Amino acid sequence: MKLSKIRQIELWENHLVFLQKNKFKNRDRIQHCVTVLKSLKTKTMQKELEEIKESLYIMVSTRNQMVNYIPYKYFDFDQVWNITTDDDKNKKWDKYYQNVGNTRIDKKIEFQYTEILKIAAIEKRIKRELKSISNNKIFWNITGGQRPFVLAIHNLIKSDELKDKIHYLCYLEGNKREMQIMKFKDGVLSDEVTNSYSYQIEGLTID
C-alpha cells in the first residue's frame, strides 16, 4: 500500500530521532535522513499550496484585519468572502482592509451585532449563501472571529449539506508567525495537510 506524503514524513522523522541517539555512529545516515525529509516536505508543501490556493477564502472580520490579510497574501486566493457585522468600528476596519491592503471582497455576509449570539441563525444564513458556489474547497480563517462565528463554522464543516466539500480551517499564531491549518474531508479531520505554515511576509506582524 502506498503511503501518503504526510505518513512518509512521520516515519522518516521517527527514524531520524532514533538515529540521533547515537549521532557519531550514524552521522552519514542522519545526513541522508535530513535530505530525504527536506525533499518530502518541499514537495508536500508545493502540492498543498496549489490545492489551497484554489479554495474560496472566507474570513471573519475583526478589528485586527492583518490576520485576514496574511492568508490572502500568502495563498493569493481568487475569491474572497467576508463575514462581518454592522458595527460601525467593524465597518471601518472592513474598509481599511480593502483600501490599505489593496485587496478585494467579492461577497459580504453581514449580521446585525445583536445576531451574533444566535449560532443556529448564523449557520443557516451562511449555509444559504454557500448554496450558490461551485467551488468544492473552502478555506475558513477563524483567527479574528468571535466565538459564536467560530462555533457556527465548525458546525457547518461537519454538516451533511457541506460534507461534500473540502474544508481548510486556519488560525494564525502571531507569536510564532505560523498559520495552523487543519483539513477536513467528509466532515472529518484529515492528516493530508501540513499542520503549520511559517509566513515570512516582509513588514507584516501580529502583536
Q: Please indicate, yes or no, if residue 185 is contained in any of the structural domains.
A: yes
Residues 61 and 128 reside in one and the same domain: yes
Has residue 89 been placed in a domain?
Answer: yes
Q: Phi/psi zone of residue 76: left (φ > 0), alpha (ψ -120 to 50 degrees), beta?
A: left
Identify whether residues 99 and 134 lie together within a single domain. yes
For residue 201, which of 98, 104, 105, 101 has the smallest C-alpha distance?
A: 101
Q: Based on the domain organization, do 118 and 180 belong to the same domain? A: yes
Confidence (pLDDT) at 103? 74
Query: How many other β-carbons are positioned within 10 Å of the β-carbon of residue 98?
Result: 15
User: What's the pLDDT score for residue 3?
Assistant: 61
The answer to whether position 204 is within a domain reads no
Residue 31 sits in the same domain as residue 91: no
pLDDT of the residue at 207: 45
Q: Which whole-number Å values give the CA distances from 177 to 41, 42, 56, 171, 180, in the listed order?
A: 19, 19, 23, 11, 10
Same domain? For 60 and 28 the reply is no
Rg of the chain's alpha carbons, rounded to an integer?
20
**Are 69 and 13 within one domain?**
no
Q: Report the Cα–Cα distance between both ends of the chain, in Å, rounded.
A: 45
| pLDDT > 80? residue 201 | no
- pTM comes to 0.74
Percentage of the chain beyond pLDDT 70 is 75
Query: Is it the case that residue 15 has pLDDT exceeding 60?
Result: yes
Q: Is the pLDDT of residue 206 over 50?
A: no
Average pLDDT value for residue range 149-178 = 89
The residues pairing with 80 across neighbouring beta strands, listed in sequence order, are 57
What count of other Cβ atoms lies within 10 Å of the Cβ of residue 29? Answer: 14
Instruction: Show the beta-strand stretches assigned E in the chain.
Output: 56-60, 79-85, 107-111, 137-141, 166-173, 178-185, 188-190, 196-198
Is pLDDT of 51 > 70? Answer: yes
Residue 138 — very low, low, confident or very high, per pLDDT cuts 50/70/90? very high
CA 173/CA 196 separation, integer angstroms: 9
CB atoms within 10 A of CB 199: 16
For residues 151 and 142, give the distance between their C-alpha atoms in angstroms, rounded to a whole number: 10
Torsion of CA 75, 52, 177, 92, to 10 degrees: 60
pLDDT tier for residue 202 given thresholds of 50, 70 and 90 = low
Which residue range(s) make up the domain with 136? 54-198
For residue 16, being part of any structural domain is answered with yes
Q: Are residue 68 and residue 35 in the same domain, yes or no? A: no
Number of structural domains in the chain: 2
109 pairs with which residues across the strands?
83
Judge contact between 93 and 68, C-beta under 8 A.
Answer: no
- 139 with 114, same domain? yes
pLDDT at 142 over 50: yes
Q: Once rounded to an integer, what is the mean pLDDT over residues 95-110?
A: 74
